[in-house]
Every structure is written in structure tokens, then in C-alpha cells.
């Protein structure tokens, strides 16, 4: 069942999203060459808990950490690791979920460590734009396929990258993962119609090479690109409203001005 949120519930999710956005902003000063990915976990968990919120990923289906920290060819669900030291040029994805008094928000952001290569810069730019192209389709009356279609066309047809199929966006609230499923590929005009009050995530994962993932890691969580190529991800939580898509996890009020109201 899909839960349609009231304006009051969306406002509560926005408060949760502000904490998550603040955590990501803080990570800009933390992520640098020479730190371990465990330091990202420590900072993030402390930030969330110090704002009287819950790091909701802890305990989800047995997951033990506040964050997923995935590096370079790791697509998603990487454990934060004390022995994984970040190097100049690495591409790091940090994903987490915040629960503030029952209001959930979910956001992943990508960070270049030190001085990124042109290859990393382009991948980040394409993935970031792909997310916003998808968000722009999140208006009342459009269909789920409209979101995935525009992302897939931009990622694969216009840029020649791989648009990951195995992991997708989703509804959020009253729990972390709700219906509807939100693939980042598909056919325009197909799928569930978007309605006012839906709250969903748009979170494309883009690989420089193949779209296919290797999920054979024995921990049962980590997914890597099947060909060892770099992978990038950005994710926002948003609400479907009469005014258009409302981003609830914005880190940049100026850039996101048209999505904030």
C-alpha cells in the first residue's frame, strides 16, 4: 500500500531531511586523503544522534552501521571499514537514513577525495544531473516510467554510461522502504501514476562501464560494478505536491530554489 502524506507529515519529513543534509554538508570537511571510511561512519552517527534523531539503517535487515560507504567500483551497500584508507582521487558514496520522531529521510551523496580526475568529475556531473532530470518528472499525473526513461536516456544514450538496474528508488515513510518502486530506467508513459502526497526517493547509480552489478560478495550486502569500472550515486527524498516536486533533503537552497517551498 502507498502512503499519501499530509502537509504536516511532509513538514516533519523536511525536518528529518534537514538533519541528513547537514550531515552531508559536514562530511565535506571530513572526507580527505588519509582518513578511513570508518571515520565517516563515526562522524555521521554522532551528527545524527546529536540532533536527537535515529540512524535508521542500524538494525535494518541485520545491517550494523549508520552509513553505507562505497568507494570507487563499489556501487552501494559498502560497510564502513577501519582498514579502508581513502586515497587522493577516490570516489566515495555515503548513504544513510534518518528517523526523526517517526519521519524518515534518505539521501546518498558522492564525494571526490582530494583532487579528482577528469573522469571522476564527469561521472559525478552526469550522475548529479541525471538525478535532477528524474526529479523534474515527479509531478502529479506523470508516471513512474517517466522518471526512469529520462534518466536512462541521459545516462546511456547521451553519455554512454551504464544505468544500474539492480538497485532502485522507492517510497519512504512510514518506514524506510515503501511502495512504489522507482526504477531509474524504463519507458515513458508507463507505470504507476504519481499522486499528491507521495514521498519517494530518486537515486540513480551510474557506472562508467556496464550497468551490471556483481553481488557475489560474501557479506551479502556489497555490490560492485561487474567490470570494475567507477560508480557514482546521488539521492534525494522528495514529495509530490501541487506546486511540483519538493526536495526534502536539500543541501543547497540556492541551487534547489525551485524545489523548496
Distance CA 36, CA 113 (A): 12
Distance CA 27, CA 156 (A): 30
Residue pair 74/84 in contact (Cβ under 8 Å)? The answer is no
pTM of full prediction above 0.85: yes
**Residue 192: other Cβ atoms inside 10 A:** 15
Give the mean model confidence (pLDDT) for residues 113-123: 98
- CATH for 7-250 (3.40.50.300, 3.40.50.2300, 3.40.50.10110, 3.90.230.10): 3.90.230.10
pLDDT at residue 238 is higher than 90: yes
Residue pair 108/95 in contact (Cβ under 8 Å)? The answer is yes
Q: At CA 250, angle to CA 30 and CA 26, rounded to 5?
A: 15
Cβ neighbours of residue 208 under 8 Å, at least 6 residues apart? 119, 123, 161, 162, 229, 230, 231
Predicted confidence band of residue 246 (pLDDT cuts 50, 70, 90) = very high
- Is 106 annotated to bind ligand? yes
Write the DSSP symbol of residue 172: -
Q: Where are the beta strands (DSSP E) in the chain?
A: 54-55, 67-71, 74-76, 91-100, 103-112, 162-163, 169-171, 178-182, 199-202, 205-207, 213-214, 223-225, 231-233, 236-241, 244-247
Q: Grid coordinates representing 189?
A: 508513459
pLDDT of residue 95: 98
Distance CA 25, CA 251 (A): 7
Q: What percent of the chain is modeled with pLDDT above 70?
A: 100
- Is 217 annotated to bind ligand? no
- Is 128 annotated to bind ligand? no
Residue pair 87/113 in contact (Cβ under 8 Å)? The answer is yes
pLDDT at residue 103 is higher than 90: yes
Distances (CA, A) of 248 to 59, 120, 140, 191, 202: 24, 27, 17, 24, 12
pLDDT at residue 226 is higher than 90: yes
Predicted confidence band of residue 1 (pLDDT cuts 50, 70, 90) = confident
Distance CA 125, CA 119 (A): 10
Distance CA 34, CA 73 (A): 19
Residues 141-183 pLDDT 10s: 999 999 999 999 999 999 999 999 999 999 999 999 999 999 9
- Is 170 annotated to bind ligand? yes
- Is 52 annotated to bind ligand? no
Alpha helices (runs of H) in 51-184, residue ranges in sequence order: 118-136, 144-152
Q: What are the φ and ψ backbone dihedral angles of 75, each rounded to 5 degrees?
A: -75, -50
Predicted confidence band of residue 220 (pLDDT cuts 50, 70, 90) = very high
Burial of 75 (0-12, 13-18, 19+ CB in 10 A): buried
pLDDT of residue 96: 98
Predicted confidence band of residue 88 (pLDDT cuts 50, 70, 90) = very high
Distance CA 135, CA 151 (A): 10
Helices 118-136 and 144-152: crossing angle in degrees, nearest 10, is 160
Amino acid at each position: 500500500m502507498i502512503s499519501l502524506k499530509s502537509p504536516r507529515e511532509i513538514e516533519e519529513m523536511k525536518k528529518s531531511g534537514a538533519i541528513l543534509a547537514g550531515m552531508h554538508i559536514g562530511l565535506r570537511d571530513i572526507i580527505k586523503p588519509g582518513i578511513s571510511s570508518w571515520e565517516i561512519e563515526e562522524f555521521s552517527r554522532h551528527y545524527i544522534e546529536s540532533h536527537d534523531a535515529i540512524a535508521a539503517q542500524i538494525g535494518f535487515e541485520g545491517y550494523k552501521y549508520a552509513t553505507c560507504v562505497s568507494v570507487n567500483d563499489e556501487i552501494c551497500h559498502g560497510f564502513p571499514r577501519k582498514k579502508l584508507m581513502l586515497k587522493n582521487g577516490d570516489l566515495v558514496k555515503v548513504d544513510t537514513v534518518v528517523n526523526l520522531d517517526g519521519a524518515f529521510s534518505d539521501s546518498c551523496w558522492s564525494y571526490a577525495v582530494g583532487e579528482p580526475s577528469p573522469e571522476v568529475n564527469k561521472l559525478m556531473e552526469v550522475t548529479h544531473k541525471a538525478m535532477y532530470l528524474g526529479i523534474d518528472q515527479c509531478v502529479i499525473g506523470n508516471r513512474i516510467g517517466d522518471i526512469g526513461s529520462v534518466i536512462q536516456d541521459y545516462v546511456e544514450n547521451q553519455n554512454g554510461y551504464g544505468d544500474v538496474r539492480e538497485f532502485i528508488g522507492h517510497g519512504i515513510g512510514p518506514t524506510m522502504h515503501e511502495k512504489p518502486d522507482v526504477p531509474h530506467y524504463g519507458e515513458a508513459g508507463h507505470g504507476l501514476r504519481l499522486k499528491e502526497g507521495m514521498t519517494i526517493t530518486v537515486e540513480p547509480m551510474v557506472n562508467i562501464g556496464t550497468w551490471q552489478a556483481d553481488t557475489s560478495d560474501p557479506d551479502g550486502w556489497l555490490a560492485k560494478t561487474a567490470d570494475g569500472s567507477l560508480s557514482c550515486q546521488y539521492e534525494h527524498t522528495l514529495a509530490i505536491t501541487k506546486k511540483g516536486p519538493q526536495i526534502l533533503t536539500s543541501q543547497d537552497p540556492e541551487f534547489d530554489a525551485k524545489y523548496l517551498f
